[in-house]
Structure 1
């Protein structure tokens, strides 16, 4: 097939109704498109068959994970240029859109693409994709399976990506020269502790405690007594080892436990950092009710959570296909307004909401740099496909935060007693304990 890149570029521009914003290199070595743009490489025609069977994000992701699609040049620039075609094709309901190949006007384009793509059927999905899930979403059993898929990739892999801080959530950055990822994660943990007004002897529940970083910081720096819960056995084992090395076993208990099974409240404070995205819209009120019940009167909740932008029809809840299949099975994002409303419906008084959206883009770029600088080790720790999943996921997420497609917010809420005294400082924005 002569000049496959030119043929594909021409067909793509007919489908999209606009010039292709990246350069294209096909499996036959041919190239087409703007010479100064990042190059999208299609190494094998199998990638086209994936796109024909799963148009859009999931088909592209399968080709990427399988190594059939790649980018030469600046990955962020390529994703930024493609964002308008992959994610931002207008405000209409994605489920109401007709794929261009099904449009009668585009049938000739479709026939040509089928001719280029080669023999059917499509190849099977790469093995890193989530297998068929059974039962109702967000039950305890299924949540445990979803958490295991994401977090039990291997502690060695996460150490390569996250660095010494072992914090897998948005850091809190400063403009100070030489400010590192570890500095930013330390400052984020300290910000959470200060917002919660932690004091010596306070009892803290850390929901979704990860590898123990928040628990260690709260116990070591503020004298808190901490219970951390996670559904990942690998995380729990790693956290317990760190806690023993810090000499904090008398102050911190790590449990492999669902937060819905915690029965030994009340707590003075609860931190939930990057965990609520796993809860699901159908369970979010239950989540808020459970945390409210676990706090003493005057107790504080710091809910640190990624948010999406509101949609026209909020009764329709859309899942990101790539993230659901490869990264966070059953993960869901809600607008921050819905989160605030549900927390207040559960009885909380919301006292502060802080957006730190740009901070997450910076964090993700550092994680991607860590992964790329130790790529061979990362592949050995997992698999080539899994390492490619994480590189694409984190780079695309950084672009999404930068383009304001998604955000991240810290919501401080209080279980205010009937008398109305919240117990917070008069000028709480100074975040003094």
Structure 2
């Protein structure tokens, strides 16, 4: 009897209290759900065991990464239809417990248990990060481990996804028809202009990645740059690029925690897509450290993803999939909280530019690059890792488009004792 899909559909609709917005194709080749909708493929019973042992987002993520769940059709459309039932719901386990008080839901759950037999906990995919609890978050050692988990997956893989620019942060688009390379170049130039870079200045690039900002600043603006990263693979790649550009006399790349930089003062600091790794409990320390490294009148450009404010800002919340598979220990804060902490450290915030639509465009280009090189991407990392990046980037593009998260460039100044910021009267002239 081929009815697994119908039984899965009935259970899902009992749990979410609404019609299922996608079709289901089960391992027994049965299908159920609205005609013409994207198809969620449940390849085997192990997918159900992932969901039963870890209800909610983490169970779904494990099943996806393991290849037990897939989407046949437009991934963006499938995620968009499912968003309110996955990422925009309250605590999944609590919701399941509440739903199970209904006799009909309990009956459907028993049916699911029977479908998933044998009912043994499946091992998480090897791509999942293993940690030792929250007490060890954001030490230098744990940050180094988290950064290695995300970035040390192979420079060749990132070349496929990011393209020749090798910039892993939001690009700055003149129009949706621009090329990714031009949009990334324009972002680096925007940062350089906001910082007022001029020949002879010293720039500290915190979280320098594969060296793109350092190379742009040195080549186009004549500054001397120190770039710091915790990734050995990024540092080796950046040094090779710098040597090929003939810029070794102007750029130094260090494998170093920003908390260990001691050779200030710098005229300017760029922090592009790095502060998300700092964590709420360490953020004031981060701001204080960067403030101390700047000369009076020096500028900081802090480019950072932000989340929407919560009703209870004292509560700790994290995206289970991203924490386990993408950015371990990464934390997002509302932009207002970030500005407040920078100012508590002594900075004067001079400009804030919200560019979330730009990140949606950037992510869609990265997904297109990944999908265009899918067999090679799996070979360079692992099938599971490639699936992590495809889901993460596609879901993130939709999150930016739906205004669930944003990204902002905050320009701040360490004011001198005179109180004069050194900023132009018309601030967006930058110089």
Task: Give the secondary-structure state (helix, strand or coil) at the position aligned to 1:354.
Answer: strand
Deviation at 1:417, TM superposition (A): 1.4
Matched, 1:104 2:83: no
2:313 — aligned with what? 314
Deviation at 1:182, TM superposition (A): 0.3
Change (3 A) 1:351 1:180: same
Equivalent positions of 1:321-360 (< 5 A) are: 321-360=320-359
Q: Name whichever of 97-106 and 260-269 sits farther off.
A: 97-106
Superposition TM-score, scaled by structure 1 size: 0.97
Task: Give the secondary-structure state (helix, strand or coil) at the position aligned to 1:49.
Answer: helix
Separation in structure 2 between the aligned mates of residue 14 and residue 236 of structure 1, nearest angstrom: 51
Separation in structure 2 between the aligned mates of residue 356 and residue 227 of structure 1, nearest angstrom: 27
Separation in structure 1 between the aligned mates of residue 242 and residue 98 of structure 2, nearest angstrom: 56
Q: Deviations over 1:189-239 (max 9, x none)?
A: 000000111111110000000000000000000111100000001000000
Equivalent positions of 1:27-176 (< 5 A) are: 27-89=27-89, 94=91, 97-100=94-97, 103-105=100-102, 106-133=105-132, 136-175=136-175
Task: Give the secondary-structure state (helix, strand or coil) at the position aligned to 1:420.
Answer: coil
Task: Give the secondary-structure state (helix, strand or coil) at the position aligned to 1:98.
Answer: helix
The answer on whether the counterparts of 1:101 and 1:110 sit within 8 Å (CA) in structure 2 is no
Task: Give the secondary-structure state (helix, strand or coil) at the position aligned to 1:408.
Answer: strand
The answer on whether the counterparts of 2:323 and 2:330 sit within 8 Å (CA) in structure 1 is yes
Deviation at 1:39, TM superposition (A): 0.6
Task: Give the secondary-structure state (helix, strand or coil) at the position aligned to 1:99.
Answer: helix
Separation in structure 2 between the aligned mates of residue 412 and residue 182 of structure 1, nearest angstrom: 24
Deviation at 1:2, TM superposition (A): 2.6
1:216 — aligned with what? 215
Q: CA RMSD in A?
A: 1.3
4+ aligned runs moved over 6 Å, structure 1: none
Task: Give the secondary-structure state (helix, strand or coil) at the position aligned to 1:27.
Answer: coil
Deviation at 1:420, TM superposition (A): 1.4
Separation in structure 2 between the aligned mates of residue 97 and residue 186 of structure 1, nearest angstrom: 46
The answer on whether the counterparts of 1:357 and 1:408 sit within 8 Å (CA) in structure 2 is yes
1:21 — aligned with what? 21
Q: Deviations over 1:268-287 (max 9, x none)?
A: 00000000000001100000
Matched, 1:205 2:201: no
Matched, 1:425 2:424: yes
Q: Name whichever of 113-122 and 278-287 sits farther off.
A: 113-122
Task: Give the secondary-structure state (helix, strand or coil) at the position aligned to 2:423.
Answer: coil
Task: Give the secondary-structure state (helix, strand or coil) at the position aligned to 2:95.
Answer: coil
The answer on whether the counterparts of 2:226 and 2:252 sit within 8 Å (CA) in structure 1 is yes
The answer on whether the counterparts of 1:49 and 1:117 sit within 8 Å (CA) in structure 2 is yes
Equivalent positions of 1:3-22 (< 5 A) are: 3-22=3-22
Deviation at 1:130, TM superposition (A): 0.6
Q: Deviations over 1:256-296 (max 9, x none)?
A: 00000000000000000000000001100000000000000
1:410 — aligned with what? 409
Separation in structure 1 between the aligned mates of residue 207 and residue 92 of structure 2, nearest angstrom: 33
Matched, 1:247 2:246: yes
Task: Give the secondary-structure state (helix, strand or coil) at the position aligned to 2:299.
Answer: strand
Q: Deviations over 1:62-100 (max 9, x none)?
A: 1111111000110000000000100112xx6x3894325
Deviation at 1:115, TM superposition (A): 1.5
The answer on whether the counterparts of 1:348 and 1:413 sit within 8 Å (CA) in structure 2 is yes
Matched, 1:373 2:410: no
Count of aligned positions: 428
Superposition TM-score, scaled by structure 2 size: 0.97
Task: Give the secondary-structure state (helix, strand or coil) at the position aligned to 2:203.
Answer: strand
The answer on whether the counterparts of 1:15 and 1:100 sit within 8 Å (CA) in structure 2 is no
Separation in structure 2 between the aligned mates of residue 303 and residue 363 of structure 1, nearest angstrom: 19
Task: Give the secondary-structure state (helix, strand or coil) at the position aligned to 2:296.
Answer: strand
| Structure 2: gaps spanning 5 or more residues | none
